[in-house]
A = this chain, B = another copy of it.
Amino acid sequence: MMTPLTEQECIELLRTTTVGRIGFVADGRVQIIPVNFLTDGRDIVIRTDPEGPLSALPSSRELVAFEVDHHESLAATGWSVLVNGPVTTMTMAELDAVLGASTRRPWAEGDRSLPLRLSSQLLTGRRVRRRS
């Protein structure tokens, strides 16, 4: 049984986790990469390497995707939230204004000096539950 989530439910579920997945097209293939993230209202904020693959997101032709989900195998239930929108670069001052930016740091090390904002143009989600 699949139930769509409201936008408000999607926003609340996004705030329950700190790891999501960025989806984008590069080199003729769809790529999905887990990232640490922060929320800023409806938007997703990540910090990345200015020389890394995610630094090209602001020039993506397609709307970039960001997904979070949660599953419980024993209960065969789960939910997922999908955000789609354009990505823009942020200044470090803009990043500092985001709640949680000073305390949460990405797990991966290395240069993370490029903050990016995914503007949540489309926000959809669903809950799945197996009827027993």
Contacts and interface: CB of A to CB of B under 8 A. Distances in A.
14 contacts: A1-B109, A19-B78, A21-B32, A23-B30, A25-B62, A29-B62, A29-B65, A30-B30, A30-B64, A30-B65, A32-B32, A32-B67, A32-B82, A34-B78
A122 B71 CA distance: 26
- Stoichiometry (number of copies): 2
Interface residues of A, number: 38
Interface string A99-129: 0000000011110000000000010000011
A18 interface: yes
A125 B72 CA distance: 24
A49 to B, nearest CB: 10
